[in-house]
Structure 1
Amino acid sequence: MSAIKIRVIGAGVGNTDVNHLIKEHLDWADIFVGGKRFISELKCPETKEKVIIKGDVRAVLEKIRSAVKLNKNVVVISDGDPLFFGIARGIVQEFGKENVEVYPNITVAQVACARLGVPFEEMGVVSLHGKRSFHQVLSAMMDYNIIGIYTDSASGPKRIADELVKRDIKEFSMTVLEELGTDDEKITEFFDVNDVINNDFSAINFVVLKRNSPPGQKIRVGMEDEFYIHEGGLITKREVRAVSISMLELDLDSTVWDIGAGCGSVGIECAAVSRRGRIFCIERDKERVLMIKQNVQRAGAYIVEAVHGSAPECLKDLPVADRAFIGGGLSEGLSILEYLTENIK
């Protein structure tokens, strides 16, 4: 074996995989690092030090650093592929790729695809581990018909269902895959995500969302005016939208304020460009806010959020924008422009 002191080994899925690589490292390693389940199943001499990962990754990295300084060999045991939403990313960043060896294994997402008969390349995969924001799921729903979600105790099937319900997203079904690869494996499909909220699930689960109906129109810049539900002639015309969005010079992850959004047409089409960004359509008229929400659903522009309020007051509660478009509300024009001058990134 080489002089590398840190090896990260993927343990696979469930209890089907007594990993031969881990066995081969029982004598080599001085310290084993991993989740409680992996560490408790290790059959190694009592003289070996064991470190359980409890969520504080920084503390684990410091433990590894101290061990390497003492010329000790460290084995980190991870789920599946350690570089696929796994701990190896942080370890490689911290110690350098030349000092870490990674041994990948099959991932939970791949097993889920196998169980459901879904080609892996057709699934968009995101992780809610340690994250309160649901934004990346909404972003993935714009690009994929099938989304796989790594969950944790705070962001499991119930939370995902709740996020979909409160946004009135009905075109996706949910499959919850529990205890994959074990004797307790269970797979349940919910065509109505409301039914998820009243169920209990194992803490070890993976969620798959599947689109059952397409959006009313594929989202793009310059959609026909007739696509949008709007009040009379209160809509930024197609040609104006196209030119304005071009002049905003949006990035893939831009945060945009569409102020005086009306029916939300500009904000929705900004989402076609900034698909990893955050788009806020600010509108003070309650009926138009409802129109924005309807148009968001029709377009499948899930990252667009309708905000009922008046600018500039309500802007203080929103994430700072990279770009702003003012389509209305210019009765407060001077104060809005002053606020934007001081607060746009």
Structure 2
Amino acid sequence: MYKAIVFAGTTEGYALCEFLAENRVSVYACAATEYGGSLLQENEFLHVSAGRLKTEDMEELFRKENPEIVLDATHPYAAEVTKNIRTACESAGVLYQRILRPEGEKNSEAIYVESTEEAAAFLSGTEGNIFLTTGSKELAKFTGIPDYKERLFARVLSIPSVIRSCAELGIEGKHLIGMQGPFSAEINEAMLRQFQCSYLVTKDTGLAGGFPEKMEACQRCGVTPVIIGRPLKEEGLSLQDARVFLSKMFGFTLSQKISLVGIGMGAEKTLTLEGKKALNAAELLIGAKRMTEAVQKPGQMVLHEYRSEKIVEYIREHPKYRTVAIALSGDVGFYSGAKKLIDQLDGNVEVICGISSVVYFMSKIGLSWDDAKIVSAHGRNCNLISLIRHNPKVFSILGTEDGVAVLASRLVYYGMGDVTLYVGENLSYENEKIFHDKAANLTEYRGDALSVVTACNEKATPMSAVHGISDGEFLRGKAPMTKEEVRTVSLSKLRLSEDSVCYDVGAGTGSVSVEMALRAWMGQVYAIEKKEDALAILKENKKKFAVDNLAIIPGVAPEAMTELPAPTHAFIGGSSGNMQDIINLLLEKNPKVRIVINCITLETVTEAMNAIRDFGLEDVDIVQLAAARSKSIGRYHMMMGENPIYIISCSGRGEEIR
């Protein structure tokens, strides 16, 4: 007793047999020929029978096996067989379901005819070679075409009986091609060119039958397709919808194979073989339009979408697609949207790496990338200026048409106009553009948003592994400056991360601001200062140290801080008597903010301790630092004491904002 009987003369039929057997539903597969039967592998749940059945044979089979359903997945042009199956089901009282192959898209350049006879009649009034892809059964109908032995080139199954029947009709030698599909557009194109064909005759066999690949080859070669219409206008289920129907009928859950495929730069030539295989096998292709257009197969179901939540929602709402490929630019592990998708799909995905833009571009410009700093400035904060100042080679993905000009202008502003910028646009596409020039020459450049850059700075100065820039390195003027020893301990107490958002309240000359910006190179520093002379020095020090992630905020705290983003860290070097209000605003912005306060006077210490008590701050630590420096007096060195400093560190109790 079999639960389902499948007439499996098509790709869809074979797929349904395997699908049901995989889900432990017993299937009786009927194939018309031994060759068709050999395409299925029998197992515990799948029995294969080969041979043509008459209506009465079908009815006898149905009564004997008493299946719950009969699936008619025969060829869309096998009209008589479909009629017989339907009649037998009605006689035996068995549920019948037709499985349809979707028709191909209409081709404005094609000749559409109703039958093989009509196709032969049309071709009889033409000149030029004809490529027949309709098989051997109706080949005799084309022998009425004048000079058919010279004009016809027939592609048929490579079965001895088929080859003999074609030879008997006078189609042999180079005019007879014995091959088993599927055939790519490239193979079809090669054959059309080889035989110098003017026409290709086909039936509308849909995506599974290779119809789109034939149309694509015709377009490439300037060949006219002659398309024989389907004999019946039928209703039924597609392969995808049939899976949903059968899963509900037999009570099992549909599974999906989801692949995240890195497609390289975008052009098909940068696809890996593994990636190409996954994309070709996908019933549903998802990705941004630029990416899907580069890799989709003709007739393939495509969803143009790049937002991870929308992609996941669509996949879950359409379980009928058994294989899904999500096309992602470059490599899935290189600044890719793959991470979000993996998390939202609960890790139930296959990840296929691609060729990253850094590998491709660096090979194009002849530079190694093993010693390069690799980042992305596309839709994210990235302090390229600091990286280029401290690294001899920096690669970055850009994302705007003026990206190169903006970068070049900033480099010139910070005194790095002689840095060489290698620029790559539309990598791998026909309009690929790669060039290099000095930053000073690119401040007005406008290019394509789809671009990358490699900056080579021969004068790069490596960043120190610890804080502690010498006081003499800073421009001073008359503005107060937090000294090197105090600055070092204070920064240590701050516990910065590379992506911290920092306030320097009462920044003075900006010595703390600069060191913050260098350490939090992926974050942002806001230097708040009220004095005009200090602001001028601050600006000069920002420029000298090329800390592009340092923003100077004129004004008095806390008012000047109101519109700033929430800080993760704050250094208070001067409060102008507003300690309580400053700390209150910091905690409102981030209840878990990390704070370090420098106090010279006892009154400021009192202010700070009162605020710590009033706001219930935790992790409180107080250090008094008294440093002395030597001063040369003749041949002697005298130690000269600096003012003692209180360094108070603490944190808020609330939930941290990151």
Please indicate the TM-score interval, normalised by the length of the shorter structure: 0.7 to 0.9
| Residue in 1 that maps onto 2:505 | 259
1:106-117 alignment runs, 5 A limit: 106-117=355-366
Letter in 2 for 1:96: D
Distance 1:148 1:321, change over 3 A: same
Structure 2 stretches of 5 or more lacking a match? 1-21, 23-254, 594-658
**SS at 1:6's partner residue?**
strand
| C-alpha deviation, 1:238, in angstroms | 1.3
**SS at 1:242's partner residue?**
helix
Deviates more, 1:327-336 or 1:311-320: 327-336
Deviation per CA, 1:164-202: give whole Å up to 9, x if none.
567776464432212223443322223135x43433323
| Residue in 2 that maps onto 1:184 | 431
| Residue in 2 that maps onto 1:86 | 336
Q: Does 1:223 find its partner at 2:483?
A: no
| Residue in 1 that maps onto 2:264 | 12
| Residue in 2 that maps onto 1:101 | 350
> How far apart, CA to CA, are the structure 2 residues paired with 1:332 and 1:233?
20
Query: TM-score under structure 1 normalisation?
Result: 0.83
Aligned-pair identity in percent equals 25
| C-alpha deviation, 1:292, in angstroms | 2.1
**SS at 2:269's partner residue?**
coil
> How far apart, CA to CA, are the structure 1 residues paired with 2:460 and 2:297?
53
| Residue in 2 that maps onto 1:311 | 557
Contact 1:215/1:297, CA 8 A, preserved across alignment: no
Deviation per CA, 1:21-43: give whole Å up to 9, x if none.
35434663211123323433446
**SS at 1:8's partner residue?**
strand
Q: Does 1:294 find its partner at 2:540?
A: yes
Distance 1:148 1:4, change over 3 A: farther
| Residue in 2 that maps onto 1:28 | 281
Deviates more, 1:294-303 or 1:274-283: 294-303
Deviation per CA, 1:245-296: give whole Å up to 9, x if none.
2222333433221111111111222334434332222122333223223323
> How far apart, CA to CA, are the structure 2 residues paired with 1:38 and 1:321?
38
Letter in 2 for 1:146: K
Query: TM-score under structure 2 normalisation?
Result: 0.46
> How far apart, CA to CA, are the structure 2 residues paired with 1:162 and 1:63?
43
> How far apart, CA to CA, are the structure 2 residues paired with 1:343 and 1:313?
13
Aligned Cα root-mean-square deviation (Å)? 3.2
**SS at 1:120's partner residue?**
coil
Distance 1:65 1:216, change over 3 A: closer
| Residue in 2 that maps onto 1:151 | 398
Contact 2:424/2:453, CA 8 A, preserved across alignment: yes
Letter in 2 for 1:10: G
Deviation per CA, 1:76-101: give whole Å up to 9, x if none.
2222212211232222111133x211
**SS at 2:571's partner residue?**
strand
**SS at 1:241's partner residue?**
helix
Deviation per CA, 1:53-87: give whole Å up to 9, x if none.
3x4343223222333x3352101222221221123
Alignment: residue pair count? 337
Q: Does 1:74 find its partner at 2:319?
A: no
> How far apart, CA to CA, are the structure 1 residues paired with 2:362 and 2:521?
25
| Aligned mate of 2:301, from 42, 45, 49 | 49
| C-alpha deviation, 1:115, in angstroms | 2.5
| C-alpha deviation, 1:228, in angstroms | 0.6
Structure exhibiting the larger radius of gyration computed from Cα positions = 2
| C-alpha deviation, 1:142, in angstroms | 6.5
Contact 2:383/2:548, CA 8 A, preserved across alignment: no
| C-alpha deviation, 1:330, in angstroms | 1.9
| Aligned mate of 1:124, from 343, 368, 373 | 373
